[in-house]
Amino acid sequence: MNVSADKNAKLIKEEAIRLGFSNVGFAKAVPLDDDARRLEQWLSKGYNAGMGYMTNHFDLRVDPTKLVPGARSVITLTMNYFPASVQQSDTPKIAKYAWGTDYHYVIREKLNQLLAYMNSTIGTVEGRGFVDSAPVLERTWAVRSGLGWVGKNGNVLTKQNGSFFFIATLITDLELTPDAPFTTDHCGTCTRCIDACPTDAIVSPTEIDANKCISYLTIELKDALIPQEFNGKMEGWMFGCDICQDVCPWNRFSKPNTEPYFTPIPEILNLSLKQWDELGEEGFNKVFKNSPVKRSKWKGIQRNLKLIS
C-alpha cells in the first residue's frame, strides 16, 4: 500500500468537497483503448452531426498522458446543478444546467483553487483541469473513478443523486490511490428515456444521434433553420432539453444544489413566449451576459422560438 498516495487522495477529496464538489473519484491515467474503438464507430456513423471538432485531437481524447505529459492520475469531480425552482408553465423551456451562471466559469475557478491547494499542501504538482472544453472523455473517467454508470440516455447516473450534475476532470502527475471502477448498470430493463425522446435521438442504449437531439438542434446547430422534420416535436424546448433526464427514475433522488452561482436567472423562470420575443438583442445580451444561454446568440434564440411558437 502506498501511504502517501492514500493520504493525498484523502486530502484532495476533503478539499474538493469543501470547495463545493459533490463527489470525487480517482483513476489511473492510462490509454482508453476500448473507448477509442467505440468513439471511432460513433463518429463513423455521423452521429456527431455538425460537431466536427469531435473528430479533432482523437489521440488526446483517448490518452491523458498526451494532454498532461507524465500524467499518473485522473481526478473526476461532479457538481450538482439541480434547481429548487421551476419554470412558469408558459415559459419557453431551458435545460436546467443553463439556469444560472455559466458553469465553465464556476467550475474552472474551483479546479484552479483545488490545484493551488494541492501545490501548497502536497508539493509541486503538475496538472490541468478540464470542464467540457477539451478533448476529455469525462463520462468514461467518471465510471473508472467509481462515481456512477452511463445510463441509456448517455448520461452518467448515480443511485444517490441521479444525473443532474456537471463532470470535471483534473489530470495530474501525482500518484493517487485509484477508486474501484463502477461495474454495475442499474438501468435494468427500464427504457423510459428512450420511449420519451420525441425525436428518437437515443438510437440504442447509451448511443445518441446528435442529428436528432433537441439539445444539439437548439444549441450546436448553426443553420438558419432547424430541419422541418422536427416541426411539432420540440415540445417547447428553446435551449437544450431535459426530457431524458426528467423521466429517469433515478432523478427522483435529485436534491437542490447549494451553489449560489447556480441561482436561476429570474427571466429564465418567468419570461413568457411573448416577452422573449420583445426582449430584443440588446436586452438578451445584457440579461444573459454570464449565462450558457448566450451560446445560441440572439439569432439562434429567435430561430428556436419560431419553432415552438
Q: Find out whether 145 and 26 touch, Cβ atoms under 8 Å.
A: yes
pLDDT at 195: 98
Beta bridge partners of 215: none
pLDDT at 122: 95
For residue range 261-274, list pLDDT tens digits in order.
999 999 999 999 99
Domain boundaries along the sequence of the chain: 3-87+100-172, 192-308
Average pLDDT over residues 223-251: 96
For residue range 18-69, list pLDDT tens digits in order.
999 999 999 999 999 888 888 889 989 999 998 888 788 778 788 999 989 9
CA atoms within 13 A on the CB side of 111: 26
Say if residue 2's pLDDT is above 80: no
Spell out the residues 6+ positions from residue 275 whose beta carbon is closer than 8 angstroms to its own.
Answer: none
Cα 4 from Cα 7, distance rounded (Å) = 5
Residues marked as catalytic:
132
How many helices (H) and strands (E) are present in the chain, helices listed first?
Answer: 12, 10
**pLDDT cut 70: percent of the chain above it:** 99
Cell 427500464 sits on residue: 190
Spell out the residues 6+ positions from residue 142 whose beta carbon is closer than 8 angstroms to its own.
Answer: 25, 76, 78, 148, 156, 167, 182
Average pLDDT over residues 180-187: 95
pLDDT confidence tier of residue 309, bands split at 50, 70 and 90 = low
For residue range 114-142, list pLDDT tens digits in order.
999 999 999 999 999 999 876 789 999 99
pLDDT confidence tier of residue 305, bands split at 50, 70 and 90 = very high
**Dihedrals phi, psi of 127, to nearest 5 degrees:** -170, 160
